[in-house]
Amino acid sequence: MDNKRIKNLKKNFKDIYKKNCSYVFEAPGRVNLIGEHTDYNGGFVLPIAIDRSILIAAKPNNENILRLHSLDFNNTITCNLDKIKYDSKNGWANYPLGVAKILQDKGYILKGADLMFEGTIPRGSGLSSSAAIEVVSCIAYEEISKLKIDKKQIPVICQKAENDFIGVKCGIMDQFVITNAKKNSALFLDCRNLKYENITFSDEDVSIVIVDTKLERKLVNSAYNERRQQCEDGVKILKRYIKGIKLLRDVKVADFEKYKSKLPLIVRKRCEHVIYENQRVLDAVRYLKTKNINDFGKLMNESHDSLKNLYEVSCKQLDTLVYSARKVKGVLGSRMTGAGFGGCTVTLVKNESINGLVIKMTEKYISKYNINPNFYISQAENGARKI
Ligand code: ADP
Ligand code: MG
């Protein structure tokens, strides 16, 4: 953890609230290595926490009030604990307020507190700054109000805040990995039953390079809903031929191959992506366990090609970044990550090739789109915690 950030946060807390803070909490952003558009099909994902995070400094205030200050937005929102409701005027503060409200709805009694937020996760880039601010708020309230929240409930509460209070239909992966990630591990999650395993992912010679397209993601919502529908349509048809399936997660590759001709073309393509992508996550986990990082990288490439050609959620900017990365010696794999139509790519690269990679990708992206892409280089980091 960057001590300068904590020092600065504590100093600002003192300047603004005229007292010392009692606690500091941190929650990281995340990136998914493989397993895209599998979550709502009850399938597998393999994300890591990254070394960008949101911090909270906090102190109980013995008032029945939450005072929320953001250093990044430079404003303070004050809310009576008995009157928490969504208000667009509250902007960013709706995230911590939403978590407080869901906790209250579940019967937890919150105490008044002064909180200060600071973050280094780029906002709206698909690295899940929203889930980070939810989770860090949740663990802060837990400590301040001396609640006993089952750790399994934290991601569920935070997802509910984003779904019901903010109004964004996200899955549970982000909140889950941000809560449960371990340093030098990827988190293998079964989205059907939330069983998970922290799989060692540490190779001193390779790094994860995340590149932001800086695109506004306008198409995401409608395309996302359409894809979900197409997956459901696929299950409906396949059910007639394969007994006992409820979600695409239940369909084995061999069964799909046997019956795929029964599906209309578009639905077939969507199902093919999801069913093979689930298998790729299982293979990826196996490769991590056997330290076969080269084949892991190849699966990342296959994942991208499938998202582009079958699921059709990539875009030319993502493809440009991915293809320019793959041309660099030392790159093991590169793919889009997140829902698509913008957001970020994730690339696995030998450390000695990072500089060359950054130069190459920047050159290409500037020459095609006149945009300087942002780079985030990370290892697999810890999940949310009190500092
Ligand atoms: P993403 O989760 O992909 O980063 P979202 O649009 O889901 O993007 O969430 C971004 C929102 O989360 C921001 O608009 C802001 O309201 C809130 N947020 C993120 N980081 C911070 C921060 N450091 N301080 C305050 N609010 C933040
Ligand atoms: Mg988000």
Name the residue among 111, 155, 16, 58 with its Cα closest to residue 387.
Answer: 58
Q: Which of 174, 212, 250, 283 is catalytic?
A: 174
Region 230-259: mean pLDDT is 97
CATH number of the structural domain 3-200: 3.30.230.10
pLDDT on residue 8:
97
CA-CA distances (angstroms) from residue 217 to 124, 134, 213, 222, 341? 9, 22, 10, 11, 6
Which residue's CA lies nearest to atom 9 of ligand 1? 130
Mean of the pLDDT values across residues 146-152? 95
- Candidates 260, 280, 283; CA nearest to 272 is 260
Task: Note if 174 is an active site residue.
Answer: yes
Neighbours of 98 (CB within 10 A): 28
Q: Does residue 48 surpass a pLDDT of 80?
A: yes
Lowest mean pLDDT among 18-27, 197-206, 271-280: 197-206
The residue nearest atom 6 of ligand 1, judged by CA position, is 124
Question: Do 131 and 162 contact (CB within 8 A), yes or no?
Answer: yes
352-382: pLDDT as tens digits: 999 999 999 999 999 999 999 999 999 999 9
Q: Is the pLDDT of residue 347 over 70?
A: yes
**Ligand 1 atom nearest 120 alpha carbon:** 23
The pLDDT assigned to 291 comes to 94
Judged against a pLDDT cut of 90, whether residue 169 lies above it is answered with no
Q: Is the CB of residue 130 less than 8 Å from the CB of residue 166? A: yes
Give the pLDDT score at 222: 84
**How far apart (Å, rounded) are the C-alpha atoms in residues 175 and 135?**
7
Report residue 254 as tokens: 């061999």
Confidence of residue 257 (pLDDT cuts 50, 70, 90): very high
If we measure between CA atoms, which residue out of 301, 247, 297, 256 comes closest to residue 276?
Answer: 256
167 Cα: distance to centroid of ligand 2 (angstroms): 11
Mean model confidence pLDDT for the chain: 96
pLDDT band, residue 27 (cuts 50/70/90) = very high
Banded model confidence at residue 1, pLDDT cuts 50, 70, 90: low
Give 49-70 pLDDT, tens digit per residue: 999 999 999 999 999 999 999 9
Mean pLDDT of 72-76: 97
Domain residue spans in the chain?
3-200
Please give the pLDDT value at position 129: 96
* Nearest protein Cα to ligand 1, atom 26: 92
Ligand 2 center from residue 136 Cα (angstroms): 14
Average of per-residue pLDDT across 128-157: 97
Pick the range with the lowest mean pLDDT from 8-17, 20-29, 121-130, 241-250. Answer: 121-130
**pLDDT score of 297 more than 90:** yes
